[in-house]
Amino acid sequence: MSTRIASRAPAHIHSLSPYQPGKPISELARETGIPESEIVKLASNENPLGMSPKARAAAVAALEEGARYPDGNAFALKAALARKYGVDEAQLVIGNGSNDVLEIAAQAFLAPDASAVFAQYSFAVYPLATIARGARCIQVPAKNYGHDLDAMFRAIDQSTRIVFIANPNNPTGTFLPGNEIEAFLARVPQDVLVVLDEAYTEFLPTDARYDAIAWVARFPNLLISRTLCKAYGLAGLRIGYGVAHPEVADLMNRVRQPFNASIVAQAAAVAALEDQDFVEKAAENNRRGMAQLTAAFAEMGLEWIPSSGNFVTVRVGDAGKVDQSLLAQGIIVRPIAGYGMPEWLRVSIGLPEENARFIAALRQALA
Ligand SMILES: *Cc1c(COP(=O)(O)O)cnc(C)c1O
């Protein structure tokens, strides 16, 4: 960088590489001339059913109040969450997406002399949030593309203030049974915050479910991060939340931007939380789509990582090349070379016809 001011930014800021989001539909349309309506985007684990009609109605109604600042304490949303999960309002932190909850946790607990532990092939925001605080990343090798909790426990040192665990994990979709996480929590020193990122928890089958929120009473160093952006379909509105011990939530609320969640997002979230039918429909579409995609992968002789999320990661060889072919056919998926997986593509589960278009395009790309 050539300006004097840029050279003055701290070295850890210079060392950051920006998050690489899925390509927007409008961008591919501009680049290829393919009409937006013909493009299929399976790149950002969005909800292919859109949002709940009730959430949409609440969002539209809230627009009327768009000239007002939102309720910085998110009274109605916290009341809805407290009711739904049997927690106290003082245990809640509302985020502008759960990405914000992760950032707020890093702001509250990391400093330049601290470190954060997370797994190889886990969510890109963990190193970003850690490095942005000037803290050190301790990345622990994955086991079968998932978290190796024993190795992560051993990696904790005197400087460690946060352990990030995504369950299910993104971008690999791997899942840790609840009892393994509970045993991990029982071992981790209570002056290390365990951030349990449950962005995809609503997609878990009933028999895999576990109740992490109930653990907060026993583990004051546990922060659960959840989102309404995935199963609830509010990705564009940005809304998520954290559940923790009141002292943890209090510290996080001190660094949180006062109006981080918009009036529209808060209203939509309250309505969405009440529409359980919608979430169940999304989970059902996901189960069917997962079966559709993995059956096609099996037929094509492709390896994939069994996934508990709303996406699946498949080994295609030269993923950069396959991705180019898919894009030319109007299909957007997510190459994950940036995660150190250059032979793999992560594909979000879409509607049945979107999945079918992806499968046909993939066959074409591999032919
Ligand atoms: C998508 C995702 C999030 C955050 O999404 P938001 O849209 O910010 O709520 C957090 N963690 C993981 C693992 C994710 O995949």
pLDDT at 21 over 90: no
Domain co-membership, 294 together with 249: no
Ligand 1 mean position to 99 CA, how many Å? 6
Tokens 């998110």 belong to residue: 74
What's the pLDDT at 35? 96
Domain boundary among 274, 300, 332: 274
DSSP SS3 for 332: strand
Question: pLDDT tens, 28-46?
Answer: 999 999 999 999 999 999 9
What's the pLDDT at 247? 98
Number of compact structural domains in the chain: 2
Q: What's the whole-number mean pLDDT along residues 118-147?
A: 97
Domain co-membership, 41 together with 73: no
Q: To test the ligand 1 pocket, which listed residue (118, 128, 228, 230) has its Cβ within 8 A of the most ligand atoms?
A: 230
Ligand 1 mean position to 348 CA, how many Å? 13
Domain co-membership, 151 together with 253: yes
Domain boundary among 228, 247, 274: 274
pLDDT at 129 over 90: yes
Residue 316 exposed, middle or buried by CB count within 10 Å (0-12, 13-18, 19+): buried
Domain co-membership, 250 together with 113: yes
Domain co-membership, 270 together with 317: no
Element (H, E) at 6: helix 4-7
Residue nearest to atom 12 of ligand 1 (CA): 199
What's the pLDDT at 123? 96
What's the pLDDT at 18? 85
Domain co-membership, 105 together with 46: no
Q: What's the whole-number mean pLDDT along residues 247-259?
A: 98
Residue 293, domain extent: 21-50+277-366
CA distances in angstroms from 328 to 189, 316, 333, 354, 364, listed in the order given: 51, 17, 12, 16, 11
Q: To test the ligand 1 pocket, which listed residue (164, 169, 227) has its Cβ within 8 A of the most ligand atoms?
A: 227
Question: What one-letter code names the amino acid at 321?
Answer: K
Beta-bridge mates of residue 314: 304, 345
Element (H, E) at 179: helix 178-187
At 265, is the pLDDT very low, low, confident or very high (cuts 50, 70, 90)? very high
The candidate with the shortest Cα–Cα distance to 155, out of 123, 120, 129, 179, is 120
The answer to whether residue 13 sits within a structural domain is no
pLDDT at 345 over 90: yes
DSSP SS3 for 110: coil
265 against 18, higher pLDDT: 265
Ligand 1 mean position to 197 CA, how many Å? 8
Sign of CA dihedral 123, 128, 130, 135: positive
Predicted model pTM: 0.97
Q: What's the whole-number mean pLDDT along residues 293-306?
A: 98
Domain boundary among 256, 274, 292: 274
Q: What's the whole-number mean pLDDT along residues 266-288?
A: 98
Domain co-membership, 330 together with 231: no
pLDDT at 9 over 90: yes
